[in-house]
A and B are shown apart, each in its own frame.
Chain A
Amino acid sequence: MTTIDPAPDAARLRIPASPLEWRRQWLAMDRNPAAIAFAQTFAGQVLLHAMLVGCLLAMPIIRFNHVVLVAGALALCWAFPNRRLAILSLTGVTYFLLRPFKLEQVYGEFAAVTATGGTLLAGEMAMLACGLVFMAFSLFMILNIRGRWFPFASDRPLVFMFALVVALTAVTVLLPDGSIAYGPAWIALAYLSSTYFLLGYVLIDERSKNPPTLGVKLGFLRPFWAGFAPPFKGPAFVLKHEAKDDRALAVSRLKAVKLVVWALILFFVWEWGFNKGLYGALGLPRLDAMILANAAGEPTNLAMRWLAIGIDFMSVVIYMGAAVHGTVATIRMAGFAIPRGMVRPLEARTIAEFWGRYLFYFKEMLVDFFFYPAFRRWFRDSPKLRIAFATFCAAFIGNILFDMIHVLPTMALVGPENIAERYLTYSVYAGILTIGVIWSQMAAKPQPEDGWLRHDVLPRVQVIGFFALLQVVDDSFGDAPLGARLIYYASLVGVTP
């Protein structure tokens, strides 16, 4: 670890008199020379790391075991700052080998497949061996982009991997469980579907200006901060934001602490304000409960139906804010000052802008994987159609695929019809979202000269209203059938069953 003696400025750290002054100084601390100097001292580094880990533990959005991994990785990055990239590789590879899948159900099936002779090994040894084989496949994919031995896989790596996923899914669904090919095919599908987007970024990055080393790339098959969220871009992007000196590292860590404290505040608002307050003490019904009750013909109040949507929307935005900020703060503490993942979403004046402000990295992933490739290849003579089609590829196909790809290994277990039924509602959600985004890209935008109401107020009301109403069909778990959700829309204008 690198520490310096407190700078003379550190002595000028003064205690603010009022809460507003506290807030102002807190928000400006990553630009405050005294705070930056303190953050470079041993005590400052201990304090900042302890605050981050403490905040992560206090908001159980991330599993305890994952926080332990994060704490260990951060401690190593702190102790050996000049070996940060090697630590990133080591922890990433370890994390990938031990926890390669996203869904618990997939772990259960993996154990069953390996125990019944799908592989020569069973249990954790099988997982380790399969993980190493998949890493060899990833390495081959990376090297193939450099060598172009198989041009299709090299020029269109995402399409090639998607074709593999589709083929493996078909094989696992069509082959009987006892078939000799079922086990290897299912295992390959489990690894590829769980790593599709992370490996995708690793492959895309091979064409970036400064491609990372192979070791770093393998570490990004499951970087230690990765969870259920979309990838926080690829290794080239993260490395571009790496702190280059002690001062930059201190600033990155101060930004991390600011963000994780904000995440904790949002979590407490969600937990105490919504879960224990509105839904608990006041007994307000949750949106899904209202949808099911309404569809069952139970009497529900019109105002309550609207209220349930508003509360659900705010609750989801606040929870997502806490989760995204917690992860970005972790990455910043490791020394990579990447931009925030959510920035004042309710200030968005268009539907497309809301996506960028609400879930920046998810939007970036859809743009990188679906929008740009489609935009560069299709309808190049018709600008509006070109943008509309690329938007469809991102907001509809990409959106559904991101959610669906992780459950494809379960298709062989529950049947294609169950998966299709589960995603019927979500496809309606993605369809409405796509139309909204395309419309917002094409429509004329109000200008400042149109006045405060038309420029500042009405667009924001429209955007918030659109996304709040969209919550009714935002369901990728099949919690309530599509019919019940459409009945709920009708009931919002007084039409009830």
Chain B
Amino acid sequence: MLTRMGMGRSRPAIGFDDRVFDQMFRLFGDLDRGFSPAWQTAAAMPRIDLVDAGAELKLFAELPGFSEEDVDITIERNRLTLRGQRKLEVPEGYRVRRSERGDLAFARSITLPCRVDADGVEATLEHGVLQLRLPKAPEEQPRQITIKKA
């Protein structure tokens, strides 16, 4: 039973002189880990979507448990960098039984498909998803061309 617990990323260091603890190991055993190809597990890198919405680009990044202060966004020319850090907060007086979410620190850079107006960028964080609205630079804006009558 003890070795099965090793399937989690960190193995809790605790004494096992207790029946209840013994049961706990059976409890959070491996039933839920029976079948998990790599694409099914959330990666340590946040998932990002980037959408071209015409006049602006939209970026979505999954950042569960991050607060506004934990995320740092920089734009330099058409290079966008997201940095974030989330600390594992163990509630006081509790033992860690499984730690998969853990501490998370990442930096991810993306080359945007066009220049954006960095001053006009808006960022919101809701339900653990960061949404960036990146208005395209004026020279990148789509233009309607009117055909002149002959």
Q: Do A and B come from one complex?
A: no
B residues with CB within 8 A of A: none
A residues with CB within 8 A of B: none
